[in-house]
Amino acid sequence: MKFFIDTANIDEIRDLATTGMLDGVTTNPSLVAQSGRDFIEVLKDICATIDGPVSAEVTALDAEGMIKEGKTLAKLADNIVVKAPLTWDGLRACRALSSEGIKVNVTLCFSANQALLAAKAGAAYISPFVGRLDDIHIDGMELIEEIRAIYDNYPDLETEILVASIRNPNHVKDAAIIGADVVTIPPSVLRQLAGHPLTDKGLAAFMADWEKTGQKITG
């Protein structure tokens, strides 16, 4: 499974990139607004920091506008993926952009039928939002299971399942068990994946015992 980080904070991206765990980045207008920086400059910095895909979202609502903005964004760097909403205009834009070799991440997916439409439109990625479904008492992971089953039924569909709206480490684990291709994770949740109280307890015990020996590892 690939790990993308869901942020526009360049410091977070640089820090986590050094771990070797980061395969890509997703952004959206809200995340860029939080950075307080120019949208285009943020994207250029991110693309220069990592080699993996960087999702950049269009802001137009009509297909023509999405296509125009998508082509502009795609020119910023070779690893830009244009992010478009799952509307009929978004699907039209996805078809047009993907037919020109521009990768598209279709976002705001909340049903298996929507995911099927996105795949038929040529989406490189589909982004189902599991956390937002959980918020309204619908099991978001059931949607991932449905999409995985549908895509596996039709090998010609090459769209990758990019699980979004991740809220906790269990979302990551469940997505991996189901067989999602990618999860896009807030930095705080990605850091939580390495934590476990028994790891902390065991390390403390090891270090206490080592301290008692009075020894040091020197070169």
Residues labelled catalytic: 83
Question: What DSSP character marks residue 61?
Answer: S
**How far is residue 85's CA from residue 75's CA, in Å, rounded to a whole number?**
20
Q: Which structure tokens are listed for 58?
A: 């269009």
DSSP string spanning 153-171?
Answer: H-TT---EEEEBS--SHHH
Contact indicator for 161, 138 with CB cutoff of 8 Å: no
Q: Which is nearest to 49 in space by CA: 85, 83, 8, 87?
A: 8
- Residue 127: CB partners within 8 Å, gap ≥ 6? 26, 83, 105, 106, 107, 108, 109, 162, 163, 164, 184
**Surface-to-core class of residue 197, CB atoms within 10 Å of its CB (0-12 exposed, 13-18 middle, 19+ buried):** exposed
Q: Which is nearest to 92 in space by CA: 118, 57, 126?
A: 118
**How far is residue 135's CA from residue 139's CA, in Å, rounded to a whole number?**
9
